[in-house]
Structure formats: structure tokens, C-alpha cells
Amino acid sequence: EAQVTQNPRYLITVTGKKLTVTCSQNMNHEYMSWYRQDPGLGLRQIYYSMNVEVTDKGDVPEGYKVSRKEKRNFPLILESPSPNQTSLYFCASVSGGELFFGEGSRLTVL
């Protein structure tokens, strides 16, 4: 089954404790992206990757890092999480004009 898989789906952590949200797609898509969704703000792009070893900042990249060492994986790294990074995060891959979204990762930073 074609899918984008994110883990963890839910996480509560504390300020400053590094964490990684993994994202994997099995559709061989070149383009992948991370979004955060906040009430009243819609979805905002954090980082995207056009292909392996090619990443670039989206609209709200501060406090985040990404890597793209393999085509299928695009992890999102929060080196020192802060409460303003409490949000719902979505990973997506693109093909044929369509974004395929993961089911989301709800992160709470205390």
C-alpha cells in the first residue's frame, strides 16, 4: 500500500530535549516536505527536499533541521525544542501534482 509513515504519532517532551520525528514513504517520490498545522494558521511549510541530499527552508524553518540521506526517509529534527514548537506536524511526498500526507505527529513541548 502506498503510504507516508510518521513516527511517533504522539509525543510529550520537555524544553531542550532533542527529538526526531521520522518520515518514510514507499512511493519512490523525489519531493518531500514537512508542514506544521496550528489552529487558525493552516499549514505552514517548515522544510522541503527536492531529492536526496537537496534540502531547503520553507516558511517557518527556525528551530528545525532536516536531512535527506535516502530517497525514502526525511526526518525532522528539533535540536532544542521550545513550547512554541507545540504543534501538529505533517510529512508529505509529491507526485503528479498531488501531496501525499502522513497521518500527523502531535508534539507537545512542556
- Binding-site ranges for other proteins (CB under 8 A): 4, 31, 33, 35, 40-45, 48, 50, 90, 92, 94-99, 101-104
Which of 79, 98 has the CB closer to other proteins?
98
Which of 69, 97 has the CB closer to other proteins?
97
Which of 31, 63 has the CB closer to other proteins?
31
Cα–Cα distance, 13 to 2 (Å, whole number): 31
Evaluated on CA atoms 90, 93, 98, 100, the torsion sign reads negative
Write down the least CB distance from residue 44 to other proteins, Å: 7
Write down the least CB distance from residue 19 to other proteins, Å: 20
For the chain, how big is the Rg over CA atoms in Å?
13
Find, among 64, 63, 58, the residue nearest to 76 by Cα: 64
